[in-house]
Amino acid sequence: MQRVMNYTDEHELYRETVRAFLEREVEPYKDQWDLDRLIDRKVYAAAANSGIYGLQIPEQYGGSGESDYRYRMVVCEEVAQVNALSFGVTVSLQDDLVLHYLLDLATEEQRRRWLPQFADGTVIGALAMTEPGAGSDLRGIKTTARRDGGDWILNGQKTFISSGIMADLVIVAACTDRDAGSRGFTLFVVERDMPGFLRGRKLEKMGLPGQDTAELFFEDVRIPAANLLGEEGRGLQHLMSHLPRERLGVSASAIATARAIFDRTAEYCRQRRAYGRPLVDLQHVRFELAEMSTQLDVATAFIDQSVLAYNSGTLTATDAAKGKWFMSELQKTILDRCIQLHGGYGYMMEYPVARAYLDTRIQTIYGGTTEVMKEVIGRELSR
């Protein structure tokens, strides 16, 4: 089936660059990173310098000024092919979250201060919203920031923060006026060496072991006014307005990973023999493959349309939510079926399907749970 979203020759040349980078800088090391539960940060400098992420950074700050999301799709597809999902999550964290916020909300002074360091890979960013008592419901944030002269004093705790250990710059959501309701939250940029900024334990997860996830603590951290991001009191609105890009990133990763593992499974079924013939000769196996192939083709058409809508500035929060829940649930379902078709081998961690299965489980949770996505869509329908 011809895809709705056609790649140009430039995209395919970029694919060759991404593929060569992954072969050289990621594939030889990704297993050790998982064992270490931490990716060597040198790879991100190499990735930034190779244009694997940060393409949208304007030229005057060291980037390419390229906003076409199809390039992000190429990266997602190639990362999925080599099953380097821990690496891919950190790349997505930079492109689909941190840089997206900075490019939209930063002042000119802030752009000059931070963007060149992202462009050369010397700075890794993180986004700190989630707290022990506040996940999808951001209004439950208890981290506070109060004025002190021209500065702000930040206190609180965040958890489940991707890249929390290695991050040099963290965008933190805090309550600045408890009586102002949804207009009482503000975003601040906390930098690595600020006194009172402490990192807790590196959390042990069931999947994505190489991608560091941490608890963060803020104890009377003095934030200069120059580190307030966006408008005071509009932090919640800023967070909400940037969720479609984040959720598109989850959808892109989901469809790419599901497709890559399906392709490996189809080939396995052609090669693996049972009862004297290839698995694919069994009608049940053929039906399983036929169903998954159809589901992937239909889902890909939706994602392609979403990417084109994002490029044109017309991707709605509702459509992003539809893609996020459906693609992440489909990814989970397909990888489970692929495990089954592999039989006992699918349970072995040396097989890509087993690792991808564990890495996949978080997809229906972060970026907004499936249940929250359905609530977003349902509220739109009930108007």
Residue-wise pLDDT tens digits, 306-332: 999 999 999 999 999 999 999 999 999
Task: Give the pLDDT score at 134.
Answer: 73
Please report how many Cα atoms fall inside a 13 Å half-sphere around the Cα of residue 315, on the Cβ side.
26
246 flagged as catalytic? yes
Task: Give the pLDDT score at 4.
Answer: 78
Q: What is the CATH number of the domain that holds 100?
A: 1.10.540.10
Is 1 domain-assigned?
A: no
Is 87 domain-assigned?
A: yes
| pLDDT of 138 strictly over 80 | no
Helix ranges (H only) for 272-316 are 283-311
Based on the fold, state whether residues 108 and 142 are members of the same structural domain: no
Q: Whole-model pTM?
A: 0.94
Separation of alpha carbons 90 and 102, rounded Å:
16
| pLDDT of 139 strictly over 90 | no
Q: What is the CATH number of the domain that holds 213?
A: 2.40.110.10
Residue finishing a domain among 73, 93, 123 = 123
What is the number of domains present in the chain?
3
Based on the fold, state whether residues 132 and 113 are members of the same structural domain: no
Based on the fold, state whether residues 227 and 241 are members of the same structural domain: no
Residue finishing a domain among 233, 264, 287 = 233
Based on the fold, state whether residues 244 and 370 are members of the same structural domain: yes
Q: What is the CATH number of the domain that holds 284?
A: 1.20.140.10
Is 166 domain-assigned?
A: yes
Phi-psi region of 196 (alpha: psi -120 to 50; beta: other; left: phi over 0): left
Based on the fold, state whether residues 134 and 116 are members of the same structural domain: no
Task: Answer yes or no: are the C-beta atoms of 178 and 201 closer than 8 Å.
Answer: no
Is 219 domain-assigned?
A: yes
Q: How confident is the model at residue 182 (pLDDT cuts 50, 70, 90)?
A: confident
Separation of alpha carbons 166 and 199, rounded Å:
10
| pLDDT of 292 strictly over 80 | yes
Task: Give the pLDDT score at 1.
Answer: 66
Q: What is the mean pLDDT of residues 358-379?
A: 95
Q: How confident is the model at residue 3 (pLDDT cuts 50, 70, 90)?
A: confident
pLDDT, tens only, 249-273: 999 999 999 999 999 999 999 999 9
Based on the fold, state whether residues 243 and 133 are members of the same structural domain: no
Q: How confident is the model at residue 175 (pLDDT cuts 50, 70, 90)?
A: very high
Taking alpha carbons only, the member of 259, 295, 279 closest to residue 342 is 279
pLDDT, tens only, 75-116: 999 999 999 999 999 999 999 999 999 999 999 999 999 999
Separation of alpha carbons 29 and 43, rounded Å:
10
Task: Give the pLDDT score at 41.
Answer: 93
Based on the fold, state whether residues 226 and 96 are members of the same structural domain: no
Is 140 domain-assigned?
A: yes
For residue 138, what are its two tokens? Answer: 């951001």
Is 327 domain-assigned?
A: yes
Catalytic-labelled residue, pool 246, 288, 371, 375: 246
Is 260 domain-assigned?
A: yes
Is 190 domain-assigned?
A: yes
Residue finishing a domain among 71, 100, 123 = 123
Based on the fold, state whether residues 296 and 229 are members of the same structural domain: no
**What is the percent of the chain where pLDDT is above 70?**
99
Based on the fold, state whether residues 279 and 167 are members of the same structural domain: no
Based on the fold, state whether residues 118 and 130 are members of the same structural domain: no
Task: Answer yes or no: are the C-beta atoms of 60 and 17 closer than 8 Å.
Answer: no
| pLDDT of 145 strictly over 80 | yes
Look-up: residue for tokens 């592999």?
Answer: 342
Based on the fold, state whether residues 204 and 105 are members of the same structural domain: no
| pLDDT of 135 strictly over 80 | no
Q: Which domain holds residue 157?
A: 126-233
Q: What is the mean pLDDT of residues 170-174?
A: 97
Based on the fold, state whether residues 244 and 357 are members of the same structural domain: yes
DSSP secondary structure letter of residue 93:
I
Tell me the pLDDT of the chain averaged across its residues.
95
Taking alpha carbons only, the member of 303, 301, 293 closest to residue 262 is 293
